[in-house]
């Protein structure tokens, strides 16, 4: 087919993109001394700063390329754009165009980064995508700012104290410490916390550089792009950290009788449900790859494997794409749709409900451990006694020997249970160390 076309446009690649210097009209600069005098927009500018990839519709880009800064004056901007158009700055070898703008709202003291991406495909198509990110560069002003700083200092102090306690616990337990699921969660929590603190410091540094670039009027886009990327990554780690800390509250919910029963349901069906999840994943994968291979070139929802999985998951929740499948393949489309509904939506979902239903009798027969029951009782009586609301139960004249346990009795029982648990833990630790030594 090569004799039918005079020239073919190659696909975009990080290793094939142009990184040289040109004169106006894309005339290559041969001597390196003329590179400094080249007009803005015709010399390749590397990113030069920590940056995340900019995602388009078809692929991602790293922010380097042939760029120039549009001035604030509308007349000068029109003149620059007219000059670029006259010299064919955008031609058939152009693969992507970024339009970046920074906006500031003084009423709420927030910056907004706007990035418009226009991808020019090899087949003369244009795909557009936009990214809008709002962030803060200044510290919050006024009293609320000092409150935020105070809360951050308190959090760091609590974090260091918790780290000290967990370090002592890990030193006493040795390798047995890593066998606890909640201990692994605690280690992951410390990793996220200290990473977020480090990113907070980087965010402050890059924010100050971006503000200094505004005053000097130099290289604002790159400094702002770095500040935006650091703020974005900081937000990711902060979200994960918040999620892990909220999940740690599940450990406290075991003292609630109803929620303790609900947790027993998950423990009871863990084995069966894990096997069912593997079976469900294999069935979903079969439908996913069939949809991607059969409808990927026609239906947008199946254009990639990830989109195919997402579409099938939405269909399992009741969001159907029947007409798109029927239009793409009048025979196989409806067959694929109804086969998925019958196998996944009806059969397997009912199997999942049957597994959950089989674990409910265990929930009804679940009793809270005596240790947890005495612990929460003692904690409640301590709380009420601190505010003066707790009173010892009144004695019955007919049965003085059946007087309810007082606060001291409850504390003694809790202490005995904790000592019993500690002795069992030490016994298991000695057995573990003996087994390793032999």
What are the tens digits of pLDDT across the range 53-91?
Answer: 788 877 878 777 787 777 667 788 888 888 888 888 888
d(CA 158, CA 210): 32
236-291 pLDDT tens trace: 999 999 999 888 877 766 666 666 667 777 777 777 778 888 888 888 899 999 98
Please give the pLDDT value at position 10: 66
Residues 163 and 94 sit within 8 Å (Cβ to Cβ): no
Task: Extract the tokens encoding 328.
Answer: 């793409």
Q: Which stretches of the chain score pLDDT less than 50?
A: 395-407, 433
- What does DSSP say about strands 96-105 and 110-120: parallel, antiparallel, or unpaired? antiparallel
Please give the pLDDT value at position 327: 87
Transcribe 180-230 into DSSP letters. Answer: -HHHHHHHHHHHHHHHHHHHHHHHHHHHHHHHHHHHHTSSHHHHHHHHHHH
φ, ψ for residue 87, nearest 5 deg: -95, 15
Instruction: Decide: helix, strand or coil at residue 329.
Output: coil
Task: Extract the tokens encoding 304.
Answer: 């990639």
d(CA 13, CA 172): 54
Residues 309 and 281 sit within 8 Å (Cβ to Cβ): no
d(CA 205, CA 181): 37
pTM to 2 decimal places: 0.65
Instruction: Decide: helix, strand or coil at residue 363.
Output: helix
d(CA 91, CA 26): 10
Report which of 136, 151, 150, 131 is spatially closest to residue 203, judged by C-alpha positions. 136
d(CA 227, CA 133): 11
The C-alpha torsion from 302 through 307 and 308 to 313, rounded to 10°, is -130
DSSP 132: E
């Amino acid at each position: 087919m090569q004799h039918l076309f005079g020239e073919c446009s190659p696909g975009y690649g990080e290793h094939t993109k142009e990184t040289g210097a040109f004169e106006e009209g894309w005339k290559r600069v041969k001597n390196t001394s003329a590179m400094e005098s080249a007009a803005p927009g015709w010399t390749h500018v590397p990113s030069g700063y920590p940056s995340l990839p900019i995602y388009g519709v078809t692929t991602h880009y790293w922010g380097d390329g042939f760029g120039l800064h549009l001035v604030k004056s509308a007349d000068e901007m029109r003149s620059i754009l007219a000059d670029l158009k006259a010299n064919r700055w955008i031609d058939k070898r152009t693969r992507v165009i970024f339009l970046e703008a920074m906006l500031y709202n003084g009423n709420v003291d927030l910056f907004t980064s706007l990035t418009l991406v226009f991808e020019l495909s090899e087949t003369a198509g244009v795909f557009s995508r936009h990214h809008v990110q709002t962030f803060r560069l200044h510290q919050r002003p006024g009293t609320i700012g000092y409150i935020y700083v105070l809360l951050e200092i308190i959090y760091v102090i609590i974090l260091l104290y918790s780290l000290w306690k967990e370090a002592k616990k890990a030193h006493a337990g040795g390798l047995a410490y890593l066998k606890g699921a909640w201990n692994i969660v605690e280690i992951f929590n410390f990793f996220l916390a200290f990473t977020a603190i480090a990113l907070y410091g980087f965010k402050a540094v890059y924010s100050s550089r971006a503000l200094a670039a505004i005053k000097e009027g130099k290289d604002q886009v790159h400094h702002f792009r770095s500040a935006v990327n650091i703020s974005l990554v900081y937000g990711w780690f902060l979200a994960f950290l918040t999620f892990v800390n909220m999940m740690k509250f599940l450990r406290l919910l075991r003292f609630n009788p109803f929620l303790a029963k609900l947790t027993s349901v998950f423990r009871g069906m863990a084995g069966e449900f894990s096997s069912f999840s593997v079976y469900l994943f294999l069935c979903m994968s079969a439908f996913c790859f069939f949809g991607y291979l059969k409808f990927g070139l026609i239906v947008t929802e199946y254009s990639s494997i990830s989109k195919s999985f997402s579409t099938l998951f939405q269909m399992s929740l009741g969001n159907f794409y029947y007409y798109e499948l029927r239009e793409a393949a009048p025979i196989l489309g409806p067959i694929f749709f109804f086969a998925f509904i019958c196998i996944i939506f009806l059969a397997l979902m009912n199997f999942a409900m049957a597994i959950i239903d089989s674990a409910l009798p265990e929930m009804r027969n679940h009793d809270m451990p005596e240790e947890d029951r005495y612990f929460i009782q003692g904690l409640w009586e301590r709380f009420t006694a601190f505010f003066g609301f707790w009173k010892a139960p009144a004695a019955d004249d007919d049965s003085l020997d059946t007087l309810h346990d007082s606060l001291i009795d409850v504390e003694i029982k809790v202490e005995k249970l904790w000592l019993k648990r500690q002795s069992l833990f030490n016994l298991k630790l000695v057995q573990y160390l003996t087994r390793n030594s032999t």
